A = this chain, B = another copy of it.
Amino acid sequence: MSLRERKAAKKKEDILRSASSVISRQGFHKTTMEDIAAELLMTKGSLYYYFKNKEELLFHCHDLILTGAMELIEDIYQENISSVEKMKKAIKAHLDIAIQEKEIFNLIVKPEQIFSEDHIEDIVNKRDVYAGLFDKIIAQGAERGEFHLRQQKMARMIILGATNWIQVWYSDKGEFSKDEIEEIYADYLLKMLL
């Protein structure tokens, strides 16, 4: 990749980060291209130099964050530790991202209300792959005799549902610190699997 290209790639990522942040604050529909541009001290016209429309921009936001998350969880899965430990770590990592990326992560929820058919399949697939990582951890734990449960997929849905929801109410001014919350969540959810 040439210098030029790397510069452009960096700019694209800057835009995505910035857009993610604004969208997380205001929601996708209430965020205008102008809002996003303003945050970057650009004009909205310039955004279209990098992304061909609003949906495309969002799609890449989504992709960036989900890809990052997948790498994290995949790494945890590869670690040489007990399944209980893996799941604890995975839950904490997931909570971390959900808190940070609020709205973007929330997009995973209802792609049909935002994305056109072109992207939905891609998005749903990626979301499934991500969820699959948690399935793998659970399955491995069950095999190893660490977890005892019948409906593994259901358990995974409960775990991801509960953790995704945290963005709804989390505030860094709450009674518990982020780390404490993550600890408590992990403990509770692990109880379900044992």
**Taking chain A's interface residues, is the majority helix, strand, or loop, or is none over half, making it mixed?**
helix
| CB neighbours of A159 from chain B (8 A) | 162
Q: Which of A1-59 contact B (CB under 8 A)?
A: 26-27, 29-30
| CB neighbours of A149 from chain B (8 A) | 188
| CB neighbours of A30 from chain B (8 A) | 113
Number of interface residues of A (CB under 8 A): 32
This protein's copies in its complex: 4
Q: Which of A151-174 contact B (CB under 8 A)?
A: 151, 154-155, 157-166, 168-169
Q: Mark A94-114, 1 if CB is under 8 A from B, else 0.
A: 000000000000000110011
Query: Which residues in A have some Cβ–Cβ distance to B below 8 Å?
Result: 26-27, 29-30, 109-110, 113-114, 149, 151, 154-155, 157-166, 168-169, 176, 181, 184-185, 188-189, 191-192
> A137: shortest Cβ distance to chain B, in Å?
16
| CB neighbours of A155 from chain B (8 A) | 188
B160-A165 in contact (CB<8A): yes
Residue of B nearest to A29 (CB): B29
A188-B154 in contact (CB<8A): yes
| CB neighbours of A162 from chain B (8 A) | 157-159, 161-162, 165
| CB neighbours of A169 from chain B (8 A) | 157
B26-A113 in contact (CB<8A): yes
A164-B161, A189-B158 given; A184·B109 CB < 8 A: no
- Once the chains are docked, how many angstroms separate the CA of A155 from the CA of B161? 13
| CB neighbours of A188 from chain B (8 A) | 149, 151, 154-155, 158, 192
| CB neighbours of A165 from chain B (8 A) | 157, 160-162, 164-165
